[in-house]
Amino acid sequence: MRNDSSNASLWVSAMRKSTADRLIVAFNFPPFTDGSAVTVAKRIVEADVPVDVVSADLSAVRSRDESLVDLVAPWLVEHHTVKVPVLFADERSLVPFVERGLIAVRQRRGRPYEEVYSRSMWPHSHFLAARLRSEGDAHRWIAEFSDPILWHADATLRPSGAVSLSGANLRLLRAVGSRAQAFLRENATVLAWAQFVPFLLADELVFTNEQQLQVMLNDAPEWMRAGVESRATISPHPTLPASHYRAEKGSPQPSPQDRFSIGYFGTFYPNRGGGEFLEAISLLPASLRARITLDVYTGDAGHLLDAAIRLGVADSVRKQSPLQYRRFLQTSNSYNALLVNDIATSPFGVPSPFLPSKYSDYAGSTTDTMAITLPGSPLDQKPARWRAHVGDVDGIAAMLEEAVVATGKNILFP
């Protein structure tokens, strides 16, 4: 590892002698624990080709997970980690990431990449990839969108800093037609450009579900939409092969359960769907409630435990420490059900443009999925052994009763 004038540290894999023809631009990337970083890592495994990577040092805002590094290491040739201020939709972070990323790539690379792939969130990734594609450093650009860039899950607009109409941004403007130039000048914010510059310049646009594509198309002017649709690909988050879920010999396993055990991995929001699940448990007869354990693997459990106490279900809820990614996959096999839920949203014109990435990890587990969905949402269209709908507390309680009774023959209940 060394530092160069680009403020980027460089890691070169000893596992591969070949050079890479594909560059991954991912502001958030392993070893940092982040949902988008995990998805990019799984995309690399799925593609199964050598890659170089440019990413940011997220030490200030994310913890590390070395199992994510192990996941991508067989495909990683060179990894440039760029040190910049970590700010979301702000040019004070975005501009140095792009400039230092360009220097890092060009100092090590004497010819263009066949392909550059970038993924939001964060918006930085698409800006660097756009420069690489428009300035001849890559022959093809694949831009993936994790969620609608412009909108929060509650359908409110995300705040965004401005884009300066000078310097390198003027070169990006010159890469598009006159009508597109006028549109970008009128919508000169970081998040707007993070969506519309890929819409104009990327060779392929990847969305996780059809409803996300529809919402993002609705944000675009009508003259832009046909071109976007012609280059759009729908590709849900990848699921890793079964080998990644098998526990290593000698690794500790959860204690055997004497209840119907439900696993939930990640932040559990009582005010975003979690509260009604706890309320549904409270509606069950005491004899059934005593047979249920909900394990929540999270670093922030204050609101969860407060809600459980308030609803009288504290005996059915256990807070567990967060797990590194590999351990999470292995532990997922130890439960009777894995819980995933949609978040109730204000109207987008579609049931939901969001597909929880957690579902793709659950899909590879031997444990069945328990899904609480919005009718017609992308999650609602996925297979699940048990299903109820957001807002239907009685329906969730009935689902839980059915699951406990159906699985009871395999559990030694007290």
User: pLDDT tens, 289-318?
Assistant: 999 999 999 888 778 888 999 999 999 999
Q: What is the mean pLDDT of residues 108-127?
A: 94
- Rounded-to-integer distance, Cα 373 and Cα 389, Å: 5
**Domain 243-410 is in which class?**
alpha beta
* Domains of the chain, residue spans: 2-234, 243-410
- Model pLDDT, residue 254: 57
User: Could you give the maximum distance between any two Cα atoms of the chain, in Å?
Assistant: 73
Structure-token match 């066949």, residue found:
114
- Model pLDDT, residue 409: 47
Cα distances (angstroms) measured from residue 110 to each of 21, 82, 118, 263: 12, 20, 21, 49
| CATH code matching the domain that covers 2-234, chosen among 3.30.70, 3.40.50, 3.90.1070, 3.30.1490 | 3.40.50
Answer for the pair 373, 389: CB distance below 8 angstroms, yes or no.
yes
Neighbours of 84 (CB within 10 A): 21
Q: Is the pLDDT of residue 182 over 50?
A: yes
Token output for 260: 């119907």
Q: What is the DSSP letter of 251?
A: -
Lowest-confidence pick of 12-21, 90-99, 112-121, 390-399: 12-21
Token output for 35: 């949902």
Strands of 115-120's sheet, edge to edge? Answer: 2-3, 8-12, 76-82, 51-56, 22-25, 115-120, 141-145, 204-207, 232-234
Q: Is the pLDDT of residue 15 over 50?
A: no
Task: Check for a shared fold between 2-234 and 243-410.
Answer: yes
- Rounded-to-integer distance, Cα 180 and Cα 159, Å: 23
Closest CA to 165 of 136, 200, 193, 124: 193
Backbone angles phi, psi at 392, to 5 degrees: -100, 80
**pLDDT confidence tier of residue 146, bands split at 50, 70 and 90:** very high
- Model pLDDT, residue 130: 97
Query: What is the DSSP track for 293-362?
Result: EEEEE-S--HHHHHHHHHTT-GGGEEEE----HHHHHHHHTTSSEEEEE-------SSS-S---THHHHH
Q: Is the pLDDT of residue 80 over 60?
A: yes
Give the side-chain half-sphere CA count within 13 A for 408: 13
Size of the chain, expressed as the number of residues it contains: 414
